[in-house]
Amino acid sequence: MKTRSILAAAAALSLALTACGGETPAEDPTEGATNGAEVSPEGIDDGTELTMWTRAPLERQAKNAVEAYNATHENQVILEILPNDDVEGKVGGAIQTDTLPDILAGDVVRIPYWVEQGVFTDITDHISTLDVDNLQQGHIDAGTIDGRMHTLPFVTDISVMVWNKDLYEEAGLDPEQGPTTVGEFLEQAKAVADLGKDGVAGSYLAGQSGGALVFTLFPMMWASGEEPLGAGGTEANVASENAKAIYAAYNELANTSNGLGAGSKEETGATWTAPFQEGNIGVMQYPYTAVTGLFDTVDFEIGVAGIPGVDGNQSTFLGGDALGISRSSENVEQAWNFMSWLMSDEAQQTVFADNDDTASSLSVLENGYADADERTLIANATIKDGRTPVAIYFNEAFNAAGSNWQLLIQDAVWGDGSQVDTLNEEISATLGG
Amino acid sequence: MTAPSIIAGRTRSAHMRREAATGWAFATPVTVVLALLFFAPIVLVVIMSGSKWTLLGGNQGLNGVDNFSKVLADPMLLDSVWFTLKYTLLTTVILMPIALGLALLVQEARRWNNILRTAILVPSALGIASASVLFYALYSPQVGPINKVLADLGLMDQDSSLLGTPNGALWATVFLVVWRFAGFYMLLTMVGLQGIPQDVYEAARIDGASRWRTFTQVTLPLLKPTIAMTMIMSITGSLLAFDQFYVLTKGGPNNSTMTVVLLIYRYAFETKRDLGMAAALSVLVLLALVVINAIQLKAMGVSDKEDK
């Protein structure tokens, strides 16, 4: 029994050595990973089966990445897609029972908390072997704690301003010219609302989805020069003058007939992209990953621009999922092989750029979209002005159903705005832990 | 003279020992199941409630009463307790008379009663989560028929959601729960009604009692243990409401339909992601339920004696 298992282990070891072509030193890979002394830039590709979790909204991009990797590597990644709302419960359960997958991708706003709770393996030494400056920083910063890095960008999902050119033409607006300030946004939305068409509204807001509200409104604040999150993510600043100016614009729309689409106030985020897709909304912020799919499928023309601030400028929310190796993974080098491959320009090109999705490599963003739709170039150009909010308790303060941020928007847009300052304090209290 | 009694004593005690052993043999499986499935989780929850135990970080050692003070300091707690009590009162006040009425309606063997009974009972065969999903679709402004009916009656706007306002969400959920549980409580009440001996009714008839008098003076008093049981089940069930709100409203709009158990779930998996706080609130709910049930049993005058 014992001799047989030793023989088997020896055979497996020699197989592993042949597979990686003698490139990697013949040392125990787990030891190399923990003390960081023997880090190979490309990891190990020895036919290991790797498990990976990601969430449903990014299923298409995740499948593209995993299929491209599996077709060209010995290692095979088995992808499991989790429903968006169940991610944290499932990860928590897996931690209690020590059944995390090797590779774990998560909503970037949740990553700081996960890192703080020790969900990921420290891969600072691995990441240092990459050309980090050529990668989109938001998803790396989110996974950095005390100078130790844990995550890389997986799928970048940005928010952009989109408008329905057909409705703009009907309303007597220039269909080629989207809003460049919050004031213009309000004017244009009201012009569409004034059409008085049945079911058509100026704009739309997911009133009860803290996540969508962050995704749509934070870029307006950033472009206005505000910092909605201060002091390393422990303070909220969403009651500034500029923030209030933005809320006032939405409040005016809410009080205009057909200003905000029906159901805006109650929208929990499940269907917030549907009204624009159905051609019923004039102008609104939108996830770029969702709008590329609409270019050829809807029967109206779509315009794309960066999200403006109160006095112009533009910004975007660098959302999407960051990617790390879980703390209980026994295949760190193999998992790193997948991650380092994904960061290469070839992979970024074939997996993301060629599918009109947003790449995380800056050089691919600049050169990889020669044949792409003009609007993709406009969207990509906003990334350098984009931001990812980093706060450990971000989810509780902003994303969770019924969060104080959601209550603040409900009051500012559909109420009298009297509680904005108090709720800002409450959010700060939550962020402080 | 003495020998037989000694032998008799010995055999009796041996017999008793054997009987005791048989008794233990019968009781052990149940005891083990109880210990594993009931006491062990409670002990675990109590330990958890006294520990720093986060969802993603695991157990990080004891921390005294920290979790309890954090739970009691949460402004959401009072709101959720208030809403839970309101919901419990509403469902119980609506559900109990309906169940009793239905039971009286179908208790006698008439021609269509079997079909009627089955029809009323069918919703009880549906899981509460599945029933909630069914009603979620019915209430949906996009695919559900109810919006259109209410809009045609001028009661609401076609495009707005029934679940979008606090009162709408509450009544929509109460309606679902009544639909789902009326048959079940009807069945329990019916069994109680059939347990009342016919001769008491005969005696009442001979005394010339009216139908109403018979109902209030004969049926209701004799039905007391059944009513006590259904009340306790309904109140306890409503205080622990979770599935229907999790599916239909997620505690919204704006936290207006947050029940205590939904808050426990949120502590554990959504906002705080803190199993310690969730366990602390669970312990508080458990204690509250024990007290409430004890008061109820006492108020209804149900004791061990009446059960026998």
Find the CATH number of the domain harbouring B231.
Answer: 1.10.3720.10
Residue-wise over B214-252: b if at least 16 C-beta within 10 A, else e? beeebbeebbeebbbbbbbebbebbbbbbbbbbbbbbbb
Q: Where, residue-wise, is CATH 3.40.190.10 in chain A?
A: 38-157+319-368, 159-317+384-431
Residues B25, B108 within the same domain? no
A403 CB neighbours in chain B (<8 A) are 271
The verdict on a CB contact (< 8 Å) between A88 and B55 is yes
Q: How far is B59 from chain A (nearest CA, A)?
A: 9
The verdict on a CB contact (< 8 Å) between B269 and A88 is yes
The verdict on a CB contact (< 8 Å) between B56 and A263 is no
Residues B38, B97 within the same domain? no
The verdict on a CB contact (< 8 Å) between A262 and B160 is yes
Show the tokens assigned to B200.
């008491």
pLDDT of residue B305: 53
Mean pLDDT across chain A: 88
Tens digit of pLDDT for each residue in B7-37?
A: 555 677 888 888 889 988 999 999 999 999 9
B255 CB neighbours in chain A (<8 A) are 402, 407
HSE (side-chain half, CA atoms, 13 Å) at A405? 31
Q: What's the mean pLDDT in A398-408?
A: 93
pLDDT of residue B113: 80
- Does B31 reach chain A within 8 Å, measured CB to CB? no
Mean pLDDT across chain B: 88
With cut-offs at 50, 70 and 90, classify the pLDDT of residue A370. confident
Chain B: residue nearest A407 by CA?
A: B254
pLDDT of residue B308: 41
- Does A402 reach chain B within 8 Å, measured CB to CB? yes
A117 or A26, which is more confident: A117
- Peptide bond connecting B253 to the previous residue in cis, omega within 30 degrees of 0: yes
Residue A114 in contact with residue A391, Cβ under 8 Å? no
pLDDT of residue A22: 36
In this complex, the residue of B141, B157, B273 whose CB is nearest that of residue A88 is B273
pTM for the model: 0.82
- Does A83 reach chain B within 8 Å, measured CB to CB? no
Instruction: Show the domain range for B15.
Output: 2-49
Instruction: With respect to residue B289, please indicate whether it lies within any of the assigned structural domains.
Output: yes
Residues B118, B224 within the same domain? yes
Tens digit of pLDDT for each residue in A173-219?
A: 999 999 999 999 999 999 999 999 988 999 999 999 999 999 999 99
pLDDT of residue B33: 93
Those residues whose C-beta lies under 8 Å from the C-beta of residue A159, and which sit 6 or more positions away, are A215, A216, A219, A285, A286, A287, A288, A307, A316, A317, A319
Chain B: residue nearest A394 by CA?
A: B271
Residues B300, B192 within the same domain? yes
Interface of A with B in 135-164 (CB under 8 A): none
Instruction: With respect to residue B291, please indicate whether it lies within any of the assigned structural domains.
Output: yes
Residues B21, B90 within the same domain? no
**Which CATH code fits A38-157+319-368?**
3.40.190.10
- ipTM, interface predicted TM-score of the complex: 0.76
pLDDT of residue A418: 95
Residues B86, B29 within the same domain? no
- Residue A24, pLDDT above cutoff 50: no
pLDDT of residue B10: 62
pLDDT of residue A356: 84
- Does B270 reach chain A within 8 Å, measured CB to CB? yes
Tens digit of pLDDT for each residue in A26-45?
A: 334 444 344 444 567 889 99
Residue A249 in contact with residue A267, Cβ under 8 Å? no
pLDDT of residue B110: 73
B277 or A136, which is more confident: B277
Residues B144, B13 within the same domain? no
Show the tokens assigned to B198.
């016919």
Q: How far is A364 from chain B (nearest CA, A)?
A: 35
Instruction: With respect to residue B271, please indicate whether it lies within any of the assigned structural domains.
Output: yes
The verdict on a CB contact (< 8 Å) between B157 and A262 is yes
Tens digit of pLDDT for each residue in A35-89?
A: 444 567 889 999 999 999 999 888 889 999 999 999 999 999 999 999 887 888 8
Interface of B with A in 51-80 (CB under 8 A): 54-58
Q: What's the mean pLDDT in A331-338?
A: 95
Instruction: With respect to residue B70, please indicate whether it lies within any of the assigned structural domains.
Output: no
With cut-offs at 50, 70 and 90, classify the pLDDT of residue B96. very high
Interface of B with A in 149-178 (CB under 8 A): 157, 159-161, 163-164
A113 CB neighbours in chain B (<8 A) are 56, 273
Place of tokens 């002394």: A37
Instruction: With respect to residue B29, please indicate whether it lies within any of the assigned structural domains.
Output: yes
State how many domains chain B has. 2
Where is mean pLDDT largest: A281-295, B247-261, B276-290? B276-290
With cut-offs at 50, 70 and 90, classify the pLDDT of residue A404. very high
In this complex, the residue of B55, B163, B164 whose CB is nearest that of residue A92 is B55
Long-range contacts of B58-64 (CB under 8 A, 24+ apart): B58/A95, B58/A96, B63/B276
Tens digit of pLDDT for each residue in A243-261?
A: 999 999 999 999 999 999 9
- Does B252 reach chain A within 8 Å, measured CB to CB? yes
Residues B150, B271 within the same domain? yes
Instruction: With respect to residue B263, please indicate whether it lies within any of the assigned structural domains.
Output: yes
Residues B157, B200 within the same domain? yes
pLDDT of residue A38: 55
CB-CB neighbours of A288 under 10 Å: 26
Q: Which fold has domain A159-317+384-431?
A: D-Maltodextrin-Binding Protein; domain 2 (3.40.190)
Residues B41, B101 within the same domain? no
- Residue B73, pLDDT above cutoff 90: yes
Size of interface A-B (CB pairs under 8 A): 72
The verdict on a CB contact (< 8 Å) between B254 and A395 is no
In this complex, the residue of A262, A396, A410 whose CB is nearest that of residue B271 is A396
The verdict on a CB contact (< 8 Å) between A88 and B270 is yes
- Does A99 reach chain B within 8 Å, measured CB to CB? no
Residues B45, B114 within the same domain? no
Interface of A with B in 194-213 (CB under 8 A): 199, 208
Q: What's the mean pLDDT in A396-421?
A: 94
The verdict on a CB contact (< 8 Å) between B164 and A263 is yes
Instruction: With respect to residue B63, please indicate whether it lies within any of the assigned structural domains.
Output: no
- Does A263 reach chain B within 8 Å, measured CB to CB? yes
Instruction: With respect to residue B213, please indicate whether it lies within any of the assigned structural domains.
Output: yes
B3 or A114, which is more confident: A114
- Does B202 reach chain A within 8 Å, measured CB to CB? no
User: Percent of chain B having pLDDT more than 90?
Assistant: 58
A117 CB neighbours in chain B (<8 A) are 54, 56-57
Residues B31, B96 within the same domain? no
- Residue B172, pLDDT above cutoff 90: yes
Alpha carbon distance A261, A168 (integer Å): 16
